Amino acid sequence: MKLFRHGIEGHENPGVVADDGSLRDLTGIVADIAGDALSDTSLAILRGLDRDALPIVPAETRIGACVGRVGKLVCVGLNYVAHAAEAQQAAPAEPLLFLKATTAICGPYDTVMLAKHARKVDWEVELGVVIGSVCRYVTEEDATNYIAGYCVVNDVSDRFYQLEGTGQWVKGKSNDSYAPVGPWLVTRDEVENPSGRSIWLDVDGHRYQNGNTADMVFNVPQLVSYISNLMTLMPGDIIATGTPSGVGIGQQPHPIYLHAGQVMTLGIDGLGQQSQRVVDWTQ
């Protein structure tokens, strides 16, 4: 089942993709694709609906982030073998974690607005794991049972503020619009194994990232278990599981960074595709 959210930013309504690919409205059936609606019980009810009988979402409607009221966006650094190599670092012995401000979350087709102080803004396509139930001290063997589903995340990053100043990576990761999420939350029953999936990103039609989730240093169950032993994961929390090689900072002979007017297109096999135009800060 593919769930999504549609409408004006900050006032999105829930939706589901019908078998014929049409977008259907879930308003009045569930309050949002968030919180308790992500439980196994709630998802089973939604799965049993006659989707063809639901109202069609107009084609021109904005698609928002596929999860609402996200409490935490937990990110994993250097979690692809090839990406660690291009960063000229050894693969980490344990997951490298940082948090990204939830105010960075936006829709999969929204514009990415370069921050007023932007310097070296980069792209990172990532597999997102959406938590469905309270997750605390879980084992790797049981971790999948706490997952509602999966989505595409673009971890837009300003490398200057991430790497060249003092403090934590969060400074280069958290500007508004630096975390497009969606278009779909694909429930775990449709994703038997999130490993072995192609994951890619283009800028202006040029393929920069062309990886596979099988290249992860730590797989999804390992990450969910590890993180749940450090913090309680709540329904709607998202884990961004790292990016493959091909990021801008790793380009040779010189790094390449985003500028206004460019378009990022990215996706993961079976989870959908995003596209964002990059614009200058205008506020």
- Does 140 score more than 80 pLDDT? yes
What is the maximal distance between C-alpha atoms in the chain? 55
Give the chain's mean pLDDT: 96
* Tokens (6 digits) for 92: 């980490």
The pair phi, psi for residue 170, each rounded to 5°, is: -55, -25
Q: What is the pLDDT of residue 230?
A: 98
The answer to pTM > 0.95 is yes
Sign of torsion over alpha carbons 102, 118, 9, 188: negative
- Distances in Å between the Cα of 77 and the Cα atoms of 32, 95, 97, 190, 243 are 30, 7, 6, 26, 8
C-alpha 161/C-alpha 173 separation (Å) is 8
57-91 pLDDT, tens digit per residue, is: 999 999 999 999 999 999 999 999 989 888 888 88
Q: What residues contact 237, with CB distance under 8 A and at least 6 apart?
A: 70, 71, 72, 73, 74, 130, 131, 135
Would you place residue 282 in the very low, low, confident or very high pLDDT band (cuts 50, 70, 90)?
confident
Instruction: Name the architecture of domain 68-279.
Output: Alpha-Beta Complex (3.90)
